[in-house]
Chain A
């Protein structure tokens, strides 16, 4: 049995319509991969595990605040084979609904009722029939020279930044990345050049570049817009990275719900490959199968290898032991899309675009805001500045999540804090994926925290105990439905042990999911204690 055969298992299950009875055994006979392993993989991923569900309604915070639960109820009433699902990266056009593998924006109850019970007929009346949809992108394109990604600009297909990278040579490119101050835009904010040099310095000569397009952090949809609008920019970034670190193969991991971006990226790959502008560089596309955790880089590598998406222990880091054990450079879509303009215009140019930290940043904003969308702005603007370009708050600002569910909640009083990695880190939050969710004073923060806790519980991979047990414990404690009789007749109920559980999850969890999962609850308790007194 080869690595390739195992890697093809998730796709094989997808082709077969998901994990139906007997399919694991059949695929095992064909591939030589043990049947239990195939079953383990199929049962791990939402899109494979329950093949009968064809309609999935996003129950992320922004979507629920826009009536997602009512749409789900209507879908159930209409007899559609439906279920609730985690964030579909459509928070700017809520509520987002997944029809098979396609995200439909702004689905209404009327849209659901129009199907007459036939799930294949579900469509969004917010988009013209047959048209591909995109989100709103801002601000207005007044000075493209101050934009690293320039999502409203033309998508240059020439590959001239790649040519420039070839002239600069590997070291020249990495020096430019270093001087640009580029930090990973997937969530961690790790300096990009350290990874590039890390891979470059390995004695193993087989290396890989992996693109993380498993955008799933609730409140985040920027990578979707990059792929919809600038697929060539992204591919050029990947080609430059591959050239610099000496890789001949690039793997692109797109979440399975990105059917529309998939088609666009696939066509762009066919085009650059046919024109040969990146030499014999090979691009391989891999579809995720419904698992937020696979946005964690080592879980993503496991999924790429055709296994359950459970994060690896680090160290060793992927730069040393990555895909199939080889040195691997993994970057988020936005990070890699910054690379061509850094190479073309120089690291200093990019650095100067930001404030305390380097570059421009794609800020996603959704929730109670007048114009939700993706905004490219200097890294380090404040919430107020972001709200200004996004048309302002609907109602009175109460709280916001600066970087997705994982960043917890901040009160309105923190609105003038720079939205960058360091400033937000200093108040126990994080910039994360810069998925800003705005909540007005109609929102009960206990309710909001509970929504986020449900998300983390649903998306915990289950590998390590602090996260597997802790995510469920916090949800049950918040709902106050733990059994206090069986465990020695304790009197302390509800949230009495939250601080200890949160401490344990942060100290004990293998990866960032479990470490961040308590934050929505602990931050809501910290800033909005009055919402918990009922």
Chain B
């Protein structure tokens, strides 16, 4: 039996399970506590300081993301002190962050600017020029880093380490010059990076972003329509959100980026791999096969019906079998197939064509 106990948030009682943090309980209770460095997949860092709340009996404000709920704890998330904290903290962030939304977002939503607006934080404390260094001359095709917009929440470095176990990027330098870097500032291509793009996905400000939409100058993400789909690059079935610009290509519409659904909502838990996140250009490629093609007597391909195409394929296979024997045939299935599909391919090979020459491309 799970032991249930209670804490109070702003005077209201809420039950919690052992191991839950103040933020977990507040989230379930619909109490808004702002966060920037939090991600449920990561160990709490408590570094962005936006989630600090008052806890009765504690002199200092405590980070809701990292403070475990305990029995009879009394938490205050709305008070003059917490409000002053949020306003002054966000005002400080604003002095070290581009105020121009278009420039700072570069396509992705900027949670910091949203938060500064929501909490009506002052934005007139003056501005400091960014002193954060970038990787030198990174020729990788996918991942862009904009140090001016980075707030050092370290979601990307912790994600790369704790979720992907790749550790290609790190916090580097220190103090106000702290930045996100690779070893020796090398291109991501020359590191252990697998280009999963998780750093882009977890970034709250768009400092980590896709190179492709940037170079195309597409619309900001909030103006795109998200269409939920299933990645077809392998059998795992990761859910993806195709971000569609309906007005592009003269109203024909175009997928301009792929994002992962929020963590905790689908089986892939917000994670994607390089193929799922970046390999979507094929969708609009002129060479993409959309209907079956069969080669005519002149050697050219001609469109045909599925029924006809399948019959021609079956006849071809049977012809080989008759001319060269059963083992004249071999079947290779794709790593893009599910396990069920792979099963059917070996069934086709063994039961229909009577050969054990069956393989799958990921089996070697």
A510 contacts B85, CB within 8 Å? no
Map CB proximity to B onto A260-278 as digits: 1 under 8 Å, 0 otherwise.
Answer: 0000000000000000000
A313 contacts B174, CB within 8 Å? no
B174 contacts A460, CB within 8 Å? yes
A462 contacts B174, CB within 8 Å? yes
A487 contacts B176, CB within 8 Å? no
B88 contacts A34, CB within 8 Å? no
A482 in contact with B124 given A313-B66, A487-B94 (CB within 8 Å): no
B124 contacts A468, CB within 8 Å? no
Query: A524: which B residues are within 8 A, CB to CB?
Result: none
A508 contacts B126, CB within 8 Å? no
From B1-9, B181-189, B266-274, B322-330, the one touching the partner chain is B181-189
Query: B60: which A residues are within 8 A, CB to CB?
Result: 507
Within 109-135 of B, Cβ neighbours of A (below 8 Å) are at: 123-129
Q: Is B293 an interface residue (CB 8 A)?
A: no
Query: B127: which A residues are within 8 A, CB to CB?
Result: 482-484, 486-487
Q: Is A490 an interface residue (CB 8 A)?
A: yes
Map CB proximity to B onto A1-43 as digits: 1 under 8 Å, 0 otherwise.
Answer: 0000000000000000000011011001000001111111001
**In the bound complex, what is the Cα–Cα distance between A469 and B176 (angstroms)?**
6
Number of B residues, CB within 8 Å of A? 50
Q: Is A390 an interface residue (CB 8 A)?
A: no
Query: B178: which A residues are within 8 A, CB to CB?
Result: 461-463, 468
Which residue of A36, A486, A487, A490 contacts B183 across the interface (Cβ within 8 Å)? A36
A483 in contact with B173 given A36-B167, A469-B95, A508-B85 (CB within 8 Å): no
- Residue of A whose beta carbon sits closest to that of B129: A483
Q: Is B170 an interface residue (CB 8 A)?
A: yes
Query: A490: which B residues are within 8 A, CB to CB?
Result: 124-126
A462 contacts B173, CB within 8 Å? yes
- Residue of B whose beta carbon sits closest to that of A504: B88
Q: Is A133 an interface residue (CB 8 A)?
A: no
**In the bound complex, what is the Cα–Cα distance between A476 and B44 (angstroms)?**
31
How far is the CB of B20 from the nearest CB of chain A, in Å?
16
Interface residues on A, range: 35 or more
A468 contacts B176, CB within 8 Å? yes
Q: Is B240 an interface residue (CB 8 A)?
A: no
Query: B124: which A residues are within 8 A, CB to CB?
Result: 487-488, 490, 492
**In the bound complex, what is the Cα–Cα distance between A28 and B94 (angstroms)?**
38
A38 in contact with B126 given A313-B66, A508-B85 (CB within 8 Å): no
Query: B172: which A residues are within 8 A, CB to CB?
Result: 39-40, 43-44
B89 contacts A466, CB within 8 Å? yes
Q: Is A345 an interface residue (CB 8 A)?
A: no
A313 contacts B46, CB within 8 Å? yes
**In the bound complex, what is the Cα–Cα distance between A89 and B29 (angstroms)?**
52
A469 in contact with B170 given A22-B184, A462-B177, A504-B85 (CB within 8 Å): no
How far is the CB of B178 from the nearest CB of chain A, in Å?
3
- Residue of B whose beta carbon sits closest to that of A475: B176
**In the bound complex, what is the Cα–Cα distance between A507 and B171 (angstroms)?**
24
Query: A497: which B residues are within 8 A, CB to CB?
Result: 91, 125-126
- Residue of A whose beta carbon sits closest to that of B171: A40
**In the bound complex, what is the Cα–Cα distance between A343 and B52 (angstroms)?**
43
A461 in contact with B174 given A466-B49, A469-B92, A501-B92 (CB within 8 Å): yes
Residues of A within 8 A of B (CB): 21-22, 24-25, 28, 34-40, 43-44, 49, 291, 308, 313, 457-466, 468-473, 476-477, 482-484, 486-488, 490, 492-493, 497, 500-501, 503-504, 507-510
Q: Which are the 3 A-B pairs with shortest beta-carbon distances?
A: A482-B126, A462-B178, A40-B170
A-B contact pairs, 7 of them (CB 8 A): A35-B191, A39-B184, A40-B172, A466-B49, A471-B176, A472-B128, A487-B123
